[in-house]
Amino acid sequence: MNQREFMDEHNHEHHHVQERGELRILSARAGADVAAEAPLAKHALDLAAVRGKLQARAGKQYWRTLEELAEDPHFTELLQREFPRQAPSEWDEGVDRRDFLKLMAASLAFAGLSGCGLPPRENIVPYVKQPEGLVLGKPLFFATVMPFGADAIGLLVESHEGRPTKIEGNPDHPSSLGGTNAFAQASVLDLYDPDRAQLTTNFGDMRSWSQFLDSAQAAAAAIKSTEGAGFRILTGTITSPLLAEEIQGLLKLYPKAKWHQWEPAVSDGGREGAKLAFGRYLNTVYRVEKADVILSLDSDFLAVGPGNVRYMKEFFRRRKLTGPDSEMNRLYVVEPTPTVTGATADHRLPLRASDVELFARALAAKLGLGGGASLPGAEKWIAAVAADLQKHRGSSLVVAGEQQGAEVHALAHAINAALGNSGVTVYQTEPVEAQPVNHLQSITELCADMDAGKVDTLIIFGTNPIYTAPHDFDFATKITKVRNTIRVSTHFDETAEYSQWHIAESHFLETWGDARAFDGTLSVIQPLIAPLYATHSAREVLAAFSDKPGVSDYDALRDRLKAANSGADFEKFWRKTLNDGVVANSAFTPVAGAAKFSADSLPPAKTIPADQLEFIFRPDPSIYDGRFANNGWLQELPKPVTKLVWDNAALVSSKTSEKLDLAHKAASRGGEHGQIYSPVVDVSLSNSKVTAAAWTLPGQADGVVVLPLGYGRTHAGYTGTNRGFNAYAVRVSSALFTATGGTLKKTDAEYSLACTQYHFNMEGRKILASGTLEEYKKNPNFAHEEDEQPDKSVSLYKPQDFPYAPDKPAWAMAIDLSSCNGCNACVVACQSENNIPVVGKDQVMRGREMHWIRIDRYYTHTPSETDGGHSGDPSEYSPALDNPETFFQPVPCQQCENAPCEQVCPVGATVHSSEGLNDMVYNRCIGTRYCSNNCPYKVRRFNFLRFQDWETPQFKLLRNPEVTVRSRGVMEKCTYCVQRISNVRIEAEKQNRAIRDGEIVTACESACPAEAIVFGDQNDPNSRVSKLKAQQRNYTILGELNARPRTTYLAAVRNPNPEMEKA
Amino acid sequence: MSVAQPPINHPEIRRLEPVLAPGHTYETVTATISDVVIKRPLGLGWFAGFTLAFTFLMVLTVAVAWLIIKGVGIWGINVPIGWGFAIVNFVWWIGIGHAGTLISAILFLLNQKWRTSINRFAEAMTLFAVACAGIFPLIHTGRPWMAYYMFPYPSTMGIWPQFRSPLIWDVFAVSTYGTVSLLFWFVGLIPDLATLRDRAPHKWQQMIFGALAMGWRGSARHWHRYQSAYMLLAGLATPLVLSVHTVVSFDFSIAIVPGWHTTIFPPYFVAGAIYSGFAMVLTIAIPLRKAYGLEDFITMRHLENMAKVMLATGLIVAYGYFFEFFMAEYSGNKFDVFLVDQRLHGPYSPYYFALILCNILTPQLLWIQKVRRNIAALFVMSLIINTGMWLERFVIVVISLTRDFMPSAWGRYSATVWDYATFAGTLGLFTTLLFLFCRALPAIAMAEMRELVAHTSKDHD
Amino acid sequence: MFLVCGCIPESFGGHYRVTVDPAKLLIACEEPASAAILVVRGGTIKRNELMPQLFHRSANSAARISILAVVILATLGLTVVFGGVRSPNFTNQYLIRNQPIQFSHKHHVGDDGIDCRYCHTSVEVSATAGIPPTRTCMNCHSVLYNNVGYLAPVRESYSTDTSIQWVKVHRLADYVYFNHSIHVNKGIGCSTCHGQVNQMPLMFQANTLQMQWCLDCHRNPEQNLREKKDIFNMDWKPGPDQAEKGKLLAAQYNIRGVRELTSCSTCHR
C-alpha cells in the first residue's frame, strides 16, 4: 500500500478531471484498451453535447429534441437498456448476434483445430499526460469512508488505472480495523449500477445542471422573501459535518425553514433511551473487547448498527483459543428472531420483541434497580444471567437493540451503570448525528405541514419517504400538495416519481465529502473516480439554494477543514488525513455522568396476550431498509440464517408454522438447495393488507411474525423492482417496529422461494465439529472423536504424484469456526474480487448459484433421520427446533492435495500447482462437469449459461483485471485468490526474498471482520496458519475420504454458563 | 407356422423347431429377402412410420441447435447433479448397442445357427444405437467444438489429455467399438450386396450396390477370404463387447460418489447392456417380421432363445442390484448405507421401485414357456425391459448425485423440456435409420440363410 | 467344400450349389467366363451366357487407387491443419499492422539509441511495459520535427488531449497473465520475445506467442538467460557457452524449478 503516498497528486488529477466534467478510463488489462470502455467515455461527452443542444432550445421542443438525438447510437444506448444486466434470465434472448458468432467460432474451431479464430483488432489507448505516481498495471489504494446511518466505515479502495474495483477495510480506521461488512463490500457495485439516474430531470424532461441552478436561485429569492416559511429539507441520519454545515447555513439564511429527518429501519429508542437515562441525546459506544460477559437485549450489534464491524472484531478477539487454557467471553442473547448475533450466542433465549422489555425490567429488578417486575417462564434464565453479570462487575456489558424502545435502552444504561460498566465496557459521547432528533416526530410534523399546505419547497435526500414512510401518513398524497419538490437520489426511485426535480446523486466513491464514525471519528470521503454521469452531491444541491451556489464539494470541504484546523500546516494535515483516511484523534471524548434512571420510574409495561400474534419489522439482512435493493450481489447473497435469496418472507416459528400449517416443501427443481414452494399468507395489520410468502424459521420466538423491510420496491431498478413483498405497506406510525392485533391467513396459493441451503442437519457426518469450553478443557482433542482420517500412504496415487517440497511454500487455509457468525462479508468480497457473476433467482432455484465461498448453516443437537431423528426439513416441527444451536461454516474450495476432481478431468483443466493449489484452468476446461460430480465438498461452480454480462459497459469497469472473466460452459471455483498470490510472489522474487507470512491476504480473509479465516504457508512452522493447524481443534471435513484438504477447520467452541446448564 | 416334414434326421433340428421354416429353396429365401429392398413398393405404413421417426429426428436437430446456442443450462442439471439425461441416454444407448455385436460375433464364434437370421439387423441396430450414444459425449458439454481437446494430437499448447480420466478411455473404447462394428457389419453385407446388384432391376441400383459390393464375384477365393475376414472381425469384436461397457462403467466406479464407487459395476453393466440389447432386438424383430412376412426366417425359436438370454442376463442384473445393497450394508460405509437407504426411502424411491418392477419382477414371467412363445407378451416385455434399463441408468447417474457427501449441498433434479426433446430426438434418429435400413439393405443375411437352406435341404436327400 | 457363384444370370433362377473337384473348379473360376460354364444341378451341367459387365475394367484400378488416395489425403489434411495453426497466417507472426503513426523502432532504438525504458517506463516494475503517453513523444517532438506532416496526429493528440489509438501488435489471450517485470528482472531480455526491435522499421510480432513457445522457455529457461547488463541489448545472442552459462545465471537469479514454472497458475488465473 505504499502507493498511497502518490495518492494526493492523483486526487488533484481527479479533481481537475472532475472540473472538466469528463471521464478518463484506461485499460482494464495491461495497457490495452478493452474496446467497450470507449463508448462509456463517449457517454460523458454525449451528455455534454446533449446538454448543449438542449440548452439551445425552448421547453416545448424537448421531446422532439430527444427524438432527433435518438439517432445517435451512444445516446440511445444511454437511454435504453433492455438487455439483462445483473440477473441474466434464461429465456429472454433469442439467437442474437453474439450467439451467432459463437456458432461461427464453433465451425471455425472444427475447421482449424485451433480453439480460437483470428484475434480481434485491439487498440491501445495510452494517456496523453499520464498522472504522476500511476504505474500502469499496478493498482493504487485510496482511503475513504462509506457513510451508513449513524456510522461511517473506513475503507481502502483498490483502483486500477482510475477504476475502483474492490473494497478493503482500512486498518487505521476505528470503525473498520481492516474489516468490512457485506454492505461495504457490495457498495462498489452500486457505483457501476447501470440503472443509476444519469442526469437532472424536471418531470422527466432532461435539464442541464445550470438550468437547475437558475431555477434554484429563482426559488431561493422567493424563499428569502418569506424567510423560508415554506422551505423544508428531509434527510436520513446525517453524520457529515460538511453537509450539516450547509443545512445549518440554509436554516440561518431562512430562519423559518425546517430540517426533518427520517431513518426508517432504526427506532428512536436509542436516542430517547439516552434522554431518559442521561437527560439528553447521547451516543453510546461499546468496548466489546473489554467485556467478559455480554447480554444483548434484542440487539444484532455484530451485524448491523453503528460500529458493527468494529464490534465484531473486538468480540471475536475475545473468542480466539490458542489452547485448552485460554479463556473466552460469554454472550447471552435475548431476541425474537434468530440473527447472526443470536446464532453466535452461548445462551440464546427466544422472546417476543415486546417481552424483551419485560425481560429487561425483570433483570433490572433482579439487579436491585427497582420495579419488581418478573417474566414468568424465564426466571431461572434471568437469575443465571443476573448472577453472571454480578460476577463480572465492570467487565460485563448490556446492549439494547436498535429496534427496541426507549425503556429498554434506558434500562440497559441503568444496568450498565449499576454494574460499573460505564466508562469501562461502555461510554457515552456527544451524538455522532449532526442533529439528533426524534425521527418519528420529525416526519409527523413534516406531514402535518405538507397536509396544511405550509410546505412550498421540499428537498429530499438520504431517505425515500414515499416508500418508507408509515402508510398511515399517506405521504404520497400529501407530497402532491408541495409546489416544488427536489429529489436527490442515485436512482429515479419511488420518491422521485412524486418530485418535480430529480437530481441524479453521485455515489460516495465519486464525490468529496466527510462523515463521522460511530465513535465520532471524522473522515474525509475522497472520490475514486470522476462522476460517471452528470451527477451531483446533495451538498451541491443544497448550495444551489444558498447565497453562494456552485462552490465545488472539494473547495467546500477544504475550506471547512481549514477553518476547523487553523494554525497547523494545512497541506500537510490534508495529505495526512487523505492518506490515513481519518482526521487524527477526532474521536469524541467520553462525556462524564452516569445514568440517572430507576426502573420504578417506568409506567407499568403493556403485555400482549400470549395467543395474539406479534408482528415485528426488521431491516433485511441483505438489502437493509431497501437502499440496496438494486444491488445484485446483495440480492443474491443468502441471508445468514434463512439462506433465502432474491426475496423476503414472513418468518414464523416452527410451532406457529405447525399450528397454521405453513410448512413449505422442496420442489423437484433444485430441491434442497434451490426452489422451495412456500404457502402464501395474507397479512392484515393496522387496517392494511399485504400478501407474503411464509417461511418457517427454527429458533424464532413462538407467536412472532417477522416482516423484513426493504422489499417490494416499485422503482428500484432492473434488479430490485418487484421482488418480495413490501412490509412498509402494513407499517403505521403507532407500531413502527412491533405491531399486534394483526392476522395471518393461509391462502391456497404457493410461492416459489430460492433457498441455497434447505437441509440443516449433518446426517451424523464429520462436517462441523463443535463443543463447549468445558468439554474442550476436559478433552482438548474432542474434535477428533470417532475420527476416520486414514493414513497418508493410503492412496492409489503414490506420494511422488504430488510432491510438495518442504522448503517451498504450501498454501493452506485455516477457518476458526468459533469465530464465524455467518455475516457474509467474505461471500461478497469473493464475488467482487473474482468477477463472479450474479445468476438471478430463476437460476438459483435451479441450484446454480455461483458463489465460490458459501456459508453452510447447521442446527446441531437435532439427531438426523438416519439416527431416527429429524429429516432435516426445517418446516417439519420438532421440539429441537424451538431454539436450536446454530453454527456457520464457510466452505471455499478445500484445495485437496489428493483431489478427486483432478483425477477425472479428461483434459487436465484442473491440476495441482507446485505449491499445492488446485489450479482451475478456464481456457482448458471443456465443461464435462465430471470434476464437480466427483467433488465431495461440492464447491465447484459451473457456467451453465452465459452468466456474465458482456455488454453493459459499467460492468466492464467493475471487473478485476487480475482475474479471467469466465464464459459459458466453463467450470470455476475458489482459487485461494491465486492472482494475489502470484502478484506477491513476483514482487518477492524480484527482491530475491521469501514471501512473508501475512503478505498474501485472500479476499475473504481480508474482509472477515471476525478474523476467522487465516491463509498462509503451512510449510512455515511459524506462520499463523501453521500455528492454527497445530491446534488440536484443527480437523478436516470428511477426513475419511482421504482427499487431504489444504483448507481445515478449527472446531467451534461455545462458552455456556455452567449455572445455566443446571438451571 | 408349418411343422417340419418329411422327418428330418438332423439331430439338432429334430430336437428343436427349425431356425428356418422348411420348404424354402435358395430362390425363395433370396427372393423374399431381397424383394423387400428392390421389388416391394414403399407402403403407406412405411411412409407413416418414417415420417413420424423423421419428425423426431428434426426435434433432435432443434434441441441440439438450441443447446449449442444457449448452453447446457437449458437442461435440468445443476451443481450437485452435474450429469443428467445426456449421460443416462449415453449409457442406455451404448448398452443397447451391445446385443448386435454379441449376436453376430460371440454367437457366431459359438457356431449358434439360430443367430443367422437376426444378426444383420441386430448389427444395424448396434450401429445406430452407437450413433445415438455417440452424440451425447459430444454435446453434453454444450460446446462440441471443444471436443478435440480429448484427443491426443500435437497441439500448440504443448500439453496432452489427462489419461487417468475414464472419459478419455471412453473416447477410445466407444470409437473403436463403433469402427469395428461398422466393419463387421459391412463385411457381412458384401455377398448380399452382390446379390442385390445382380437382382436389381434398375441400372442405378445396380451401380450403387455394385460399387458397395466391391466387385464381389463369389469366387472360391472371395469366399475363402470373406470367411476368414469375418471370423477375424468376429474375434476382434468379441472382447470389445465386454470392454466397451466395462469402460463406460468406469466413468462411475472410478469416481468416489456413493452409488458410483463400486467394483461390481463392470460385470453388472455388461450384463445390463446385453439385457437391454436383446430387449431392443425383440422390439425391432417382432414388428419387422410381421411387416415383411419374415416369420419363416425369424421363427419362434429365435424369439424364444432371445427371451431366454434376457431371462439369464436379467438374473445377473438382479444379482447386481442385490449386491449393491449387500456390499453397502456389509462394508458399513456410512455413505453407502445412507445411499441404499435413500434408494428405498429417499425422494426418488418411486423410480427405484419402478426399475425393480421392470427389470427384475416382470421378466420372471419368462420362466413360463407360454409367455416366451407369446409374441405380444414378448413385445410388451421387451418394451418394459428397455424402460427398466433406462430407469436403472437414471437411478445410478442422477439419484446417486442428488444426495452425496455434504447435506448442505444436496439438490434435486428435474428434466426440462429440452432434456426430453433430446432423448426423444435420439429415438427419432434411431428409428429413422432403421426405417431406411430395412428398405435399403437386406434386413436378413441372405447368403447365410442360404447356408441354412443347405442344411435343411441336405436333410431332404 | 462348396462355393456359390455370384455371376449367374437370373434366367437360371439365381444361385446354385456346385459340388465338383475343387482343383478344376478353381481353374475354372480364375476367369469369369469359364466360371459361368460350370453350373451343376442334380449332376447335370447346363451352359449359359455371361451377364453384361456393370463396371468398366478401370473400376478395379480406380478402387485400388482410391484406397491409397484416402491414406494420402488424410496425411495431407492433417499436415495442413497442424502446420496451418503454426503458420504466420494464423499466428499473425511478422504481420505489420497499420498504425496511426508510422513509428519506427529502428530509427528510435537502432539509430538514436534510445533505451527501451525511456518510453516503456514500467517494464521493470509492472506486468505491463507501458505504452508512452503523448507527452513522452512531445518531449522531443515539440522541438524536433515539430512541424512535419506525419507527426500531425501526435501534435493533435497533445493539443486536443485525446489519446492516440495504436493497434496492438503483441496480443495475448485474456486468460494469459504475462508479467514483464519478472521476466526482465530474471534475465530474460526484450529481444528474446520481441525480436531485434532495433531493426524493425515497423513493429511486428517476432514469435508465435503460442503456449508451446512459452513452454519451450518455461521448461528450459537456461537457454535464454542473460546477464543483467544485456537485458535491453537488442543484439544479444546466446553464445556457444550458453548451456553452462545459463545454468550459472539460473542459480544466480534463483529461477524457480521447471515444475514451478510450468504450474498452470503461473500464467493462468
How far is it, in rounded angstroms, from Cα C179 to Cα C198?
22
pLDDT of residue A296: 95
Residue B188 has pLDDT above 70, yes or no: yes
DSSP state letter for C201: S
Give the CA radius of gyration of chain B: 23
Cα-based angle B6, B12, B13 (whole degrees, multiple of 5): 30
Burial class (CB in 10 A: 0-12, 13-18, 19+), B66: middle
- Is the omega angle on the peptide bond into residue B6 within 30 degrees of 0, that is, cis? yes
Within A169-225, residue ranges assigned H as helices are 182-191, 209-225
How far is it, in rounded angstroms, from Cα A509 to Cα A146?
8
C6·B198 Cβ contact <8 A? yes
How far is it, in rounded angstroms, from Cα A151 to Cα A266?
13
pLDDT of residue B345: 86
Sorting pLDDT into bands at 50, 70 and 90, what band is A739?
very high
Mean pLDDT for all residues in chain C: 81
Cβ-nearest to C32 among B156, B191, B217:
B217
Chains touching chain A at 3 or more Cβ pairs under 8 angstroms? B, C
Sorting pLDDT into bands at 50, 70 and 90, what band is B332?
confident
DSSP A1016-1037: EETTSTTSHHHHHHHSTTEE-T
Chain A neighbors of B141, CB-CB under 8 A: 926-929, 969
Cβ-nearest to C14 among B26, B206, B216:
B26
Chain C neighbors of B217, CB-CB under 8 A: 5-7, 32, 35
Mean pLDDT, residues B44-53? 92
Mean pLDDT for all residues in chain A: 85
How far is it, in rounded angstroms, from Cα C108 to Cα A933?
57
CA distance B291 to chain C (A): 25
Instruction: Give the burial string for A523-560 (b: 16+ CB within 10 Å, else e).
Output: bbbbbbbbbbbbbbbbbbbbbbbbeebeebbbebbbee
Burial class (CB in 10 A: 0-12, 13-18, 19+), C205: buried
Mean pLDDT, residues A347-375? 88
- In this structure, are residues B446 and B33 in contact, taking their beta carbons and an 8 Å threshold? yes
How far is it, in rounded angstroms, from Cα A951 to Cα A879?
52
Q: pTM here? A: 0.88
Cβ-nearest to A673 among B161, B341, B411:
B411
Residue B457 has pLDDT above 60, yes or no: no
Mean pLDDT, residues A324-348? 93
Residue B297 has pLDDT above 60, yes or no: yes
Flag whether residue A109 sits within 8 Å of chain C, measured between CB atoms: no
- In this structure, are residues C106 and C198 in contact, taking their beta carbons and an 8 Å threshold? yes
CA distance A102 to chain B (A): 7
HSE, side-chain direction, 13 A CA sphere, residue B241: 26
Task: Specify the pairing of strand A484-489 against strand A501-504.
Answer: parallel
Give pLDDT tens digits for B301-322. Answer: 888 888 998 999 999 999 999 9
Residue type, A15: H
Query: A9 is written with which cell numbers?
Result: 497528486
Q: Which A residues, 431 through 470, put their C-beta within 8 Å of a C-beta on chain C?
A: none
- In this structure, are residues A859 and A672 in contact, taking their beta carbons and an 8 Å threshold? no
Flag whether residue A68 sits within 8 Å of chain B, measured between CB atoms: no
Sorting pLDDT into bands at 50, 70 and 90, what band is A208?
very high
Residue A855 has pLDDT above 50, yes or no: yes
Compute the CA torsion angle C137, C141, C143, C147 (nearest 10 deg): -150
Chain B neighbors of A891, CB-CB under 8 A: 406, 408
Give pLDDT tens digits for A956-1012. Answer: 999 999 999 999 999 999 999 999 999 999 999 999 999 999 999 999 999 999 999
Give pLDDT tens digits for C5-25. Answer: 434 433 333 344 343 444 443
Three-state secondary structure along A517-530?
Answer: CCCCCEEEECCCCC
Residue A40 has pLDDT above 50, yes or no: no
Query: B382 is written with which cell numbers?
Result: 421387451
Closest residue of C to A964, CA-based? C175
C127·A137 Cβ contact <8 A? yes
Q: Which A residues, 930 through 949, put their C-beta within 8 Å of a C-beta on chain B?
A: 930, 932-934, 936-938, 940-946
Flag whether residue B436 sits within 8 Å of chain A, measured between CB atoms: no
How far is it, in rounded angstroms, from Cα A4 to Cα A142?
6
Burial class (CB in 10 A: 0-12, 13-18, 19+), A521: buried
Q: Hey, how many other C-beta atoms are within 10 angstroms of the C-beta on C210? A: 18
How far is it, in rounded angstroms, from Cα A795 to Cα A802?
12
Give pLDDT tens digits for B411-456. Answer: 899 899 999 999 999 999 999 999 999 888 888 888 888 877 776 6
List Cβ neighbours of B163 (8 Å cut-off, separation of 6 or more).
none
Flag whether residue C265 sits within 8 Å of chain B, measured between CB atoms: no
Q: Per-domain residue ranges for chain B?
A: 26-456
pLDDT of residue C244: 92
pLDDT of residue A1026: 95
- In this structure, are residues A946 and A953 in contact, taking their beta carbons and an 8 Å threshold? no
Percent of chain A with pLDDT over 70: 87
Give pLDDT tens digits for B422-433. Answer: 999 999 999 999
Residue B458 has pLDDT above 70, yes or no: no
pLDDT of residue A862: 61
Cα-based angle B400, B403, B408 (whole degrees, multiple of 5): 155
pLDDT of residue A756: 92
Which residues of chain C, if any, have pLDDT below 70?
1-52
Flag whether residue B256 sits within 8 Å of chain A, measured between CB atoms: yes
Give pLDDT tens digits for A440-489. Answer: 999 999 999 999 999 999 999 999 999 999 999 999 999 999 999 999 99
Q: Per-domain residue ranges for chain C?
A: 2-45, 58-86, 96-131+166-267
Give pLDDT tens digits for A605-616. Answer: 777 788 889 999
- In this structure, are residues A512 and A538 in contact, taking their beta carbons and an 8 Å threshold? no
Give pLDDT tens digits for A158-168. Answer: 999 889 999 99
List Cβ neighbours of A629 (8 Å cut-off, separation of 6 or more).
A623, A635, A710, A711, A713, A716, A717, A719, A720, A721, A723
Tracing cell 497445530 back to the chain, one arrives at: A1030
Give pLDDT tens digits for A680-732. Answer: 999 999 889 999 999 999 999 999 999 999 999 999 999 999 999 999 999 99
How far is it, in rounded angstroms, from Cα A983 to Cα A990?
11
Smallest CA-to-CA distance from A954 within A533, A535, A565, A545 is with A533
Residue B18 has pLDDT above 80, yes or no: no
Give pLDDT tens digits for A412-437. Answer: 999 999 999 999 999 999 999 999 99
How far is it, in rounded angstroms, from Cα B141 to Cα A924?
13
Sorting pLDDT into bands at 50, 70 and 90, what band is A70?
very low
Give pLDDT tens digits for A102-148. Answer: 444 444 444 433 344 445 678 888 888 888 878 888 999 999 999 99
Residue B77 has pLDDT above 90, yes or no: yes
Residue A337 has pLDDT above 90, yes or no: yes
Give pLDDT tens digits for A596-644. Answer: 777 777 887 777 788 889 999 999 999 999 999 999 999 999 999 999 9
Flag whether residue B62 sits within 8 Å of chain A, measured between CB atoms: no
Mean pLDDT, residues A523-539? 93
CATH of domain B26-456: 1.20.1630.10
Closest residue of B to A98, CA-based? B69
